[in-house]
Structure 1
Amino acid sequence: MGAQQREYRQRSKSIQSMKKITRAMELIAASRVVKARQRVVETTPYANAITRAVSAVASFSDVDHPLTMERESVRRAGVLVISSDRGLAGAYSGNVLKRAEQLRELLETEGKEVAPYLTGRKAESFYRFRGRSFEQSWSGFSDAPTFEVAREIAERLTADFIAGSEGGGVDELHIVSTRFLSMVTQEVQVVRLLPLEVVEDDEPVAEEDIYPLYEFEPTGPEVLDALLPRYVVSRIWNALLQASASELAARQRAMKSATDNADELIKTYTRLANQARQAEITQEISEIVGGASALADAK
């Protein structure tokens, strides 16, 4: 009985130590997710606005730009997978990698070679463990990305797209990332980044929002040369920020769940330890009463 008590006490003590860690991580994620949400709110309108502007220029300028032209034969497709650097965030990275695998299978069934670009150590570990190659990876910033990193990723992806499969690059680019909807809801999405794809909103378009006729100054090609690189950077920057907020929200929920489970386990082991102690006391009393009865019978 004494051994059981010690075991239950030791387990309870160990879980209490783990609870302190999960509670601290929950509070850290809760404090960081506020800033991450604010950055998403601040950058999303700009990303949507520049997307509409680039779509308007591409639609009404009748200009063939390298970043808007559909390739006649798509042989290589680049996929940017945005995952996390650390775990303890529930199924956050797992959902992203699962969706990336589904996209890879779809592209391969279409006869396309997939060229992965990775962000986050979880994606790197996933590919290295399976012995798969990837074009390039970036890590160390998943919960707090910087604009410089987004620009670096955009420059590499744009250069590879312009080079095309014949030049060792890719013919189209996709992003697999997590879209932040709320603290409770985040969804994995796949967006084709290049060539530029005009995606209409689900909401009905008002008359004042219909694109008018445009006159370009200086010229359509020069406007596209100025806008398209900013479009690519802004979309990647917004995707990184959305993924960061989603990761922190998922980690906060996961750590809260772990803390609640730790509380339940501590209660369970405390109850078991008390039961073992009561059983030991009852056994000792029975032994004492039995010994006293034996002495009385001997007399």
Structure 2
Amino acid sequence: MGAQQREYKQRIGSAQGMKKIFKAKEMVAASRISKAHARVLATTPYADALTQAIGAVATHSQEAQHPFLQADRAQSGRVAILLITADRGMTGSYSHNAIRTAEELANTLIDEGKTPVLYVVGRKGEAYFRFRNRDPHRAWAPYSEPELGSLGQDIAHTLTADLLSEDPETHLDELYLVGTRFLSRFKQAARASRLVPMQLVDAEDHVPGAFPLYEFAPDAETTLQELIPRYVESRIVNLLMQSMASEHAATQRAMQTATDNAQTQIDKFTRLANTARQAEITQEITEIVGGADALAGSGRTER
């Protein structure tokens, strides 16, 4: 076998090995999407119920107040951006889209005279900003999928403390969440949404002029003090789980594309190897025929 054929055979073997890896990762990601989506569906009703409950308290109690419900919280000019990215590679454009959305939001805040403060989840986002000498204020990386609930609680406690802090160097006026919403297995969207100050509407339908009777125990203000931290935590946990489901879907698509590309390379080098083999055979036949013609022309015969 010629050197050229050996090179092609090595490349074919390498592409076949990579194809097996990509296919395996694609199948693993596909198997995890359904479970991740089920967790999203399980946490969404709880967050929606908390929204309705807080809306009921805020709407039907004039005495209840909470710092997160204040429309004007401007004190320090600092605005938190919680960015959720992947903790590993091979996820296609998943992390890139989330980072781009966060960058666009940060530029908008700077134009408004505010100071964006980055809170980053995932090694991809952390590495992106550290490489550009813009270290995040706080980063959570690495993290694992089974720990999303406890991770969300830790993030919520940290952000809530900074939002309620009286220190001008720590206090946050607003909180934005930037993550990837899981719309379907084939469609995900990176979006930014404001969580604080909260905009709540009583979701209960009622006849105009007739209001339902509410009774809060022990009182409306204490109820808000209990509900709002849980609401913030539930929204962060829900977004973490949506982002994880989106990450699995992005990984599946990326690995499917990589598998197809590996097969394309296998087909390409197989054709080149066959062409080189045919060329060697043709060359050998040509040399044999040429040698026979030379012997015939000289008048000599082989013994």
TM-score relative to the length of structure 2:
0.92
Deviates more, 1:14-23 or 1:242-251: 14-23
Matched with 1:235 is 235
Segments of structure 2 that go 5 or more residues without pairing to the other structure are none
Question: How far is the alpha carbon of 1:130 from its aligned partner?
Answer: 0.4
Deviates more, 1:24-33 or 1:286-295: 24-33
Distance 1:211 1:277 in 2: 86
Paired residues of 2:52 and 2:201 also in contact (CA < 8 A): no
Which protein is bigger by CA-based radius of gyration?
Answer: 2
Matched with 1:64 is 65
**Counterparts of 1:212-291 in structure 2 under 5 Å?**
212=212, 214-291=214-291
Paired residues of 1:83 and 1:142 also in contact (CA < 8 A): no
Deviates more, 1:60-69 or 1:207-216: 207-216
Distance 1:20 1:199 in 2: 52
Paired residues of 1:84 and 1:142 also in contact (CA < 8 A): no
Would the alpha carbon gap of residues 190 and 99 (structure 1) be closer, same or farther in structure 2, given more than 3 Å must change?
A: same
Paired residues of 2:56 and 2:202 also in contact (CA < 8 A): no
Paired residues of 2:54 and 2:200 also in contact (CA < 8 A): no
Identity of aligned residues (%): 49
**Counterparts of 1:92-241 in structure 2 under 5 Å?**
92-141=94-143, 143-163=145-165, 166=168, 168-198=170-200, 212=212, 214-241=214-241
Deviates more, 1:142-151 or 1:238-247: 142-151
Query: RMSD of aligned C-alpha atoms?
Result: 2.1
Question: How far is the alpha carbon of 1:64 from its aligned partner?
Answer: 2.1
Paired residues of 1:176 and 1:190 also in contact (CA < 8 A): yes
Question: How far is the alpha carbon of 1:165 from its aligned partner?
Answer: 6.3
Distance 2:131 2:69 in 1: 36
Segments of structure 1 that go 5 or more residues without pairing to the other structure are none
Would the alpha carbon gap of residues 17 and 200 (structure 1) be closer, same or farther in structure 2, given more than 3 Å must change?
A: farther
TM-score relative to the length of structure 1:
0.93
Would the alpha carbon gap of residues 211 and 121 (structure 1) be closer, same or farther in structure 2, given more than 3 Å must change?
A: farther
Matched with 1:298 is 298
Distance 1:60 1:82 in 2: 35
Give, as a single letter, the amino acid of the residue that structure 1 aligns with 2:57: V
Q: For 2:190, what is the secondary structure of its paired residue?
A: strand
Distance 2:171 2:282 in 1: 77
Question: How far is the alpha carbon of 1:206 from its aligned partner?
Answer: 5.8
